[in-house]
Amino acid sequence: MKHNERASGILLPIFSLPSNYGIGTFGKEAYGFIDCLKNAKQKYWQILPLCPTGFGDSPYQSFSTFAGNPYFIDLDMLIDEGLLTRADFEGVDFGSNPRQIDYIKLRAGRNQLFRKAFANSKHCNMKEYLEFIDENASWLEDYCLYMAIKSRFNDVSWTEWDDDIKFRHPEAIKGYREDLAEEIELHRFLQFYFTRQWSALKEYANKNGIRIIGDIPIYVAMDSADVWTDPSLFQLDESLNPISVAGVPPDYFSEAGQLWGNPLYDWERHARDGYSWWIKRIGYAAKLYDTVRIDHFKGFDSFWAVPYGDETAVNGQWCKGPGIDLFRRIEKHLGYVDIIAEDLGVQTDSLHKLLSEAAYPGMKVIQFGFDNGNDSNNLPHNYVQESVAYTGTHDNATLLEWYKGLSRVDRDFLRQYCRASFNNPIDAIIKTVFQSVAKLVIVPIQDYLALGGEARINVPSTVGDNWKWRLTRCQFKKSVQRRIARISETYFR
């Protein structure tokens, strides 16, 4: 990060914002959150990937690395444009719990309303729409076709489609484009309004001194337009099944490792054409966000390859990644891109060398620092200036939940290290991170609110109860904003 000033920010996914429609959106609550960040003297808003969610409703298992999640489109804005009326909402159930997303109800209700808005739209005659189509042609058409065909096949993965379209025979592509023309146009419409609303929100944030940290997963989902469109970029066999899949070995999060299941890149194939797909991907992300956080950066140094079909990640093996060559190509074509490298997990000399050569800041998480009294690199006295310090990430327990689960030895050490009281240890932990030399500090909003396990975003290696937590309107109140502002000003952030 080339900004020399000390700074701080808050982590809150878009889906966790309050709204009347079952999930956070790009509407008034998002603008209000930016106002709250400004009042709290924050300079960054970190979000999770904006792409459409796939398996397990995870933003890290998306149908496309380029497309946007249509559920973030604000419905009130569609009403303001005359595409929907209040009467259209009668009988639509978005879920009754303002603290949790009900994805089943969300999908049914939103898709019904999107089709009504699409039917009322005159977007095809808009100059802005035609420019959007032209600017995003390299991914948009394949994605819209993919989603339309996916709907035709009752939403199963492309690997289960008929062979002619699974293997993208030209005559099949042509036939489906003609047969599903209206459905394809619906998805263009949704992507246009997603981009339109997000661009306006980001512009508002930037005008108010708030920079957006966006997140991109290193891998893409098998069930995605990316893999279907160009399977040669991935390690697949002749039947288009993965040879090996992604994961990580046993670590802090899981004794059996994490089996993500994503197809692995054929890095030799990427290298032969100068990493053009990655250059396009990073370039697109740099337009969406001010800073790009790349998840699982270690995978560019070496990656854990698990034989396809294994039920855990234990039997994987380390394979060499593309290394610095990829990032030199990216810089050559795109110039400077503000990147944060998520370098958590197994640390190696080669990873440190890659980070140093790329000149990207890595991450420090204080929760990982308290481990049987060891002098960990995640303890704030060991932080370096060119790093981003966190109290926790979307994969961690909240500070309160984590603190309650510490051993007596680790809890005693923490209280001594952070000079924390028995009654209010959370504020002391946050202030300890703020005191560090790390240029940037990011704190999940749940930690400022001292929320427990009910507010956790994700438990790695589990499916079913993740990506659901939502902030309520009354939680981020003025007193909380003032307290955050005092902490930020005290430590010159």
Is beta strand 44-46 parallel, antiparallel or unpaired with respect to 211-216?
parallel
Picking from 258, 261, 251, the residue whose alpha carbon sits closest to that of residue 345 is 251
Name every residue whose Cβ is closer than 8 Å to that of residue 64 and which is 6 or more positions away in sequence.
51, 52, 139, 143, 146, 224, 225, 226
Distance CA 265, CA 256 (A): 23
Residue 342 known to be catalytic: yes
DSSP 296-345: TGGGGTEEEEEETT-SSSTT-EEEE--THHHHHHHHHHH----EEE---S
Distance CA 45, CA 163 (A): 44
Picking from 211, 327, 304, the residue whose alpha carbon sits closest to that of residue 258 is 304
* Contact yes or no for 441/450 (Cβ under 8 A): no
* Counts for the chain of helices (H) and strands (E), in that order: 18, 12
Residue 164, classed as helix, strand or coil, is helix
* Contact yes or no for 299/245 (Cβ under 8 A): no
Q: How distant is the alpha carbon of residue 279 from its chain centre?
A: 19
Question: 362: which strand partners?
Answer: 387
Picking from 395, 306, 387, 314, the residue whose alpha carbon sits closest to that of residue 352 is 387
Among candidate residues 29, 142, 342, 343, the one labeled active-site is 342
Among candidate residues 295, 301, 343, 447, the one labeled active-site is 295
Edge-first strand order for the sheet with 302-307 is: 258-263, 244-248, 302-307, 317-320
Residue 295 known to be catalytic: yes
| DSSP assignment letter at 398 | P
Helix axes 478-490, 425-435, angle to 10 degrees: 40
CA distances from 187 to 145, 260, 483 (A): 8, 28, 43
Structure tokens at 415: 């209280």
Picking from 443, 432, 469, 362, the residue whose alpha carbon sits closest to that of residue 43 is 443
Residue ranges of alpha helices (H) inside 312-424 are 324-334, 349-358, 399-404, 408-418
DSSP 186-234: HHHHHHHHHHHHHHHHHHHHHHTT-EEEEEE-SS--SSSHHHHH-GGGB
Among candidate residues 142, 215, 395, 447, the one labeled active-site is 395
* Contact yes or no for 227/234 (Cβ under 8 A): yes
Residues assigned a catalytic role: 295, 342, 395
